[in-house]
Amino acid sequence: MSANFKAELTACFGQPVAENPTGVMQEAAFAALGLNWRYLTVEVAPSKLREAVAGARAFGLRGFNCTIPHKVAVMEYLDAIAPDAAVIGAVNTVRREGDRLIGENTDGKGFLRGVRVDAGVDPKGKRAVVLGAGGASRAITTELALAGAQNVLVVNRSVERGEAMVADLAAKTGAPIRFAVWESVYRVPGDVDLLVNATSIGLYPDVDAMPPVDLSRARSGMLVCDAVFNPPETRLLAAARQRGLPVLDGLSMLVYQGVIGFQLWTGQDPPVDVMKAALREALGA
Ligand code: NDP
């Protein structure tokens, strides 16, 4: 009788990394499909990233995620970068193609898939407002632009950061991306189709914080999305619900970035519901 006791390995490299819940949903999906695969959540210091990637090659990892603070730094240790990850300027998922390691970014793609699948909205031709100009905003804004949004307005507190990001992404994508400074309360105009909170406002433990936005002029079908996933029900989403607006929580983006990573690594479609349930349980949601 022949036997195969070898597990295929995937991982997440970050620091701090202990509270990253991705492994829970990936392992639930591996188990559901009967795959002898593992997802290791590994603490890697910035000074050890080069060795960690060399280790990934030596161990034949099938792929890995990078989280804070490695999403930009990892790029110099890879063999190629996918076009959209190059525009974003950051990699959160690495896949293997033979012996080559390819950098991908599934954050913005995960967000878009959630918008399409969970909210039933096609971003093509839509007018979007993205709050924030950090890493999450960069990924979301890039993918909205590449998906053919009619325009994307980035609203950020820090002018320098917001202007620099918008100038860079507009030049790289050729898409109509504009910037507005976030002063006091931002009044969302009535012609916006999609509002995204890509700031960290509302993130645990600051769960009572609410992005200073006025939704009173929002048109009735405007989709309100939050990148914050802990807690999934943020003050912003509660305020939107109260106005009868459709909402999409940050768990959707988190799950679908993992779904896309799973597909890139295994070539198979994972059971999305199993991943969502595992994540909800892990986060006590
Ligand atoms: P960054 O630190 O890179 O960016 C944070 C952004 O939030 C900046 O634009 C910052 O503005 C803004 N901000 C923070 N506090 C305030 C405030 N009090 N008032 C106005 N603006 C504020 O963070 P990330 O982009 O990496 O992450 C943002 C959020 O997205 C986090 O909650 C993270 O958990 C979530 N996220 C979710 C993912 C998912 O899969 N659901 C994936 C990745 C991230 P300024 O430039 O002025 O400082």
Ligand 1 centroid, distance to 202 Cα (angstroms)? 10
pLDDT surpasses 80 at 1: no
pLDDT surpasses 90 at 247: yes
- Comparing 51-55, 157-161, 204-208, 258-262, the range with the smallest average pLDDT is 204-208
Confidence of residue 11 (pLDDT cuts 50, 70, 90): very high
pLDDT at 150: 96
Contacts of 42 (CB under 8 A, 6+ apart): 11, 12, 13, 14, 17, 52
Residue nearest to atom 19 of ligand 1 (CA): 157
Which of 71, 126, 172, 276 is catalytic? The answer is 71
The DSSP bridge partners found for residue 131 are: 155, 197
Q: Is 71 a catalytic residue?
A: yes
Atom nearest to 137 CA in ligand 1: 25
Residue nearest to atom 20 of ligand 1 (CA): 157
Ligand 1 centroid, distance to 205 Cα (angstroms)? 14
DSSP 226-245: E---SSSS-HHHHHHHHTT-
Q: What is the pTM of this model?
A: 0.95
- Neighbour tally for 263: CB within 10 Å: 14
DSSP 69-137: T-TTGGGGGSSEE-HHHHHHT--SEEEEETTEEEEE--HHHHHHHHHHHTS----TT-EEEEE--SHHH
The string of pLDDT tens digits covering residues 24-46 is: 999 999 999 999 999 999 999 99
The DSSP bridge partners found for residue 101 are: 96
The string of pLDDT tens digits covering residues 123-169 is: 999 999 999 999 999 999 999 999 999 999 999 999 999 999 999 99
Q: Could you tell me the two tokens for 116?
A: 């399409």
Omega of the bond leading into 83 within 30 degrees of 0 (cis)? no
pLDDT surpasses 90 at 285: no
Ligand 1 centroid, distance to 201 Cα (angstroms)? 7
Residue nearest to atom 44 of ligand 1 (CA): 136
CA distances from 150 to 186, 193, 259 (A): 21, 10, 27
Residue nearest to atom 39 of ligand 1 (CA): 254
Find out whether 225 and 115 touch, Cβ atoms under 8 Å.
Answer: yes
Name the residue of 141, 200, 201, 259 whose CB sits within 8 Å of the most ligand 1 atoms, as the mutation to test its pocket: 200
